[in-house]
């Protein structure tokens, strides 16, 4: 490749291929798109990427994407604080929000249990979830139900099972539910349509 393209093109292709799901052909198509795009658009994209890395942080309460302290969902007084939906990543939260049916709060784990990938329970924000349920600084808030909305694959089920066991042990009176299997086995929340997500939430079962 080094002899076929200028150094600037080669470097861009190498960086693009570090992105998820971007192979050589996709990287080449993106490179050609950037070459044809107005220079201002390319500069805006580069600036947006820099600002994303510099400004966006995890919400200190739920782990959602935020810029200044608690995220917009955690500060929304119309939300039901007694209902917490546990998801693996912020992108799963976004998928559920697209369905416009869930009115509670969220807790983002930051991944899922996957020993083969070196991700163990202590690498997830499970302890933060436990602290939220029994927060001494907010004794007036009683969490009634925790919905486990991890993905419906082996790792997601393992993660949900681990969290359910922890919750039952520490909070015997708490209702713990799992999203229904209206989602395809092995499917990811981000790829589910809105109706399927709504049915999965409405059909959740106790675990």
Q: Could you tell me where in the chain the CATH 1.10.8.420 domains are found?
A: 7-55
Q: What is the DSSP string of the chain?
A: -TTTS-HHHHHHHHHHTTSTT--HHHHHHHHHHHHHS-HHHHHHHHHHHHHHHHH-EE-TTT--EESSSS-TTTT-TTSEEEEEEEESSHHHHHHHHHTT---EEEEE-SS--BGGGTB-GGGSTHHHHHHHHT-TT-TT----EEEE---SSHHHHHHHHHHHHHHHHH-TTSEEEE--TTSPTT--GGGS-HHHHHHHHHT-EE-
CATH of domain 7-55: 1.10.8.420
Q: Under a CB-based contact definition with an 8 Å cutoff, are residues 133 and 174 in contact? A: yes
CA distances from 71 to 43, 68, 143 (A): 28, 7, 19
Per-residue pLDDT of the chain (207 residues; tens, 9 = 90+): 557 789 999 999 999 999 999 999 999 999 999 999 999 999 999 999 999 999 999 999 999 999 989 999 999 999 999 999 999 999 999 989 988 889 999 999 999 999 989 999 999 999 999 999 988 777 778 999 999 999 888 899 999 999 999 999 999 999 999 987 655 545 566 655 565 666 667 667 787
User: Does domain 65-206 match CATH 3.40.50.10540?
Assistant: no
Q: Could you tell me where in the chain the CATH 3.40.1360.10 domains are found?
A: 65-206
């Amino acid at each position: 490749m080094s002899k076929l393209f200028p150094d600037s093109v080669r470097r861009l292709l190498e960086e693009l291929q570090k992105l998820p799901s971007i192979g050589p052909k996709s990287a080449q198509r993106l490179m050609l798109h950037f070459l044809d795009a107005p220079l201002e658009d390319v500069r805006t994209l580069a600036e947006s990427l820099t600002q994303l890395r510099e400004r966006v942080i995890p919400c200190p309460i739920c782990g959602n994407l935020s810029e200044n302290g608690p995220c917009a969902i955690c500060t929304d007084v119309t939300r039901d604080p007694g209902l917490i939906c546990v998801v693996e990543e912020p992108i799963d939260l976004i998928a559920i929000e697209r369905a416009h049916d869930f009115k509670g709060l969220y807790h983002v784990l930051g991944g899922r249990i996957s020993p083969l990938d070196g991700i163990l329970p202590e690498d997830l924000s499970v302890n933060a979830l436990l602290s939220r349920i029994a927060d001494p600084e907010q004794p007036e808030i009683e969490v009634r139900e925790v919905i486990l909305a991890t993905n419906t694959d082996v790792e997601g089920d393992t993660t949900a099972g681990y969290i359910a066991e922890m919750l039952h042990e520490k909070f015997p009176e708490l209702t713990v539910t799992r999203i229904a299997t209206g989602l395809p086995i092995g499917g990811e929340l981000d790829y589910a349509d809105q109706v399927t997500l709504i049915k999965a939430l409405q059909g959740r079962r106790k675990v």
